[in-house]
Amino acid sequence: MEYRFKENICGIECEFITSDKCFSPKSADRGTLAMLSVCRINDNETVLDLGCGYGTVGIWAAHFTAEENIYMLDINADALECARQNAAINGFPEINIIESNGYENLDRAGFDAILSNPPYHTDFSVAKMFIEKGFNRLKVGGRMYMVTKRLDWYRNKLTSVFGGVKVNEIDGYYIFTAEKRSSSMANKKKK
């Protein structure tokens, strides 16, 4: 079944086409909206929407930086087809949309920001990969934003990789912001 809706995404009016094969097909996910409320994207920054679904995060981010600086990845082909349509509907046909299992098919690094609402109701292997490999895809000074309903594991994992993490609690969700401060992971530093 196909759905169409318009929604205000943190001050930006957007239009979406989705299907019942997508996560949160009838409206933007509350956790995603909570994450975007604390996120900042500056001019000319490169942004990775990791696990983009039908494109809420990447399309929102394209309002703040050049659309060719936006990369959207997902493993779900149906969601990616919706993301392509939504990018065009919202005036951003040049967004880079790639079918990929995590970072597998992405040949780029040096991102200013990686944003993700990971599948946190499964085991932690996907989130672990998103965080550890994401660290290497960020430039020094780059930020990783994640949103989940689980606090401890994510706080501990992000702290062990990045050396620290800021946590905001909004509407029952935890939003994690971690900044890459050096080229080596915190837990891999020489003693």
Per-position pLDDT tens, the chain of length 191:
999 989 999 999 999 999 988 888 788 899 999 999 999 999 999 999 999 999 999 999 999 999 999 999 999 999 999 999 999 999 999 999 999 999 999 999 999 999 999 876 667 888 999 999 999 999 999 999 999 999 999 999 999 999 999 999 999 999 999 999 999 988 765 44
By the 8 A CB rule, do 186 and 165 touch?
A: no
The predicted structure's pLDDT at residue 20: 86
Can you list the pairs that 164-172 forms with residues at least 24 positions away whose Cβ atoms lie under 8 Å?
A: 168/34, 168/38, 170/34, 170/37, 170/38, 171/30, 171/31, 171/33, 171/34, 172/30
The predicted structure's pLDDT at residue 191: 43
How do the domains of the chain map onto residue ranges? 2-183
- Both tokens of 107, joined, read 């040949």
Superfamily of domain 2-183: Vaccinia Virus protein VP39 (3.40.50.150)
Q: Helices then strands (H, E): number in the chain? A: 5, 9
Please tell me the distance from the alpha carbon of residue 82 to that of residue 88, in angstroms, as a whole number. Answer: 10
Please tell me the distance from the alpha carbon of residue 79 to that of residue 165, in angstroms, as a whole number. Answer: 30
Nearest of 92, 188, 185 to residue 137 by alpha carbon? 185
Burial status of residue 10 (CB atoms within 10 A of its CB: 0-12, 13-18, 19 or more): middle
For the entire predicted model, the pTM comes to 0.94
Beta strands in 68-163 (DSSP E): 70-74, 96-99, 111-116, 138-148
Nearest of 18, 169, 161 to residue 86 by alpha carbon? 18
The predicted structure's pLDDT at residue 118: 87
The residue type found at 4 is R
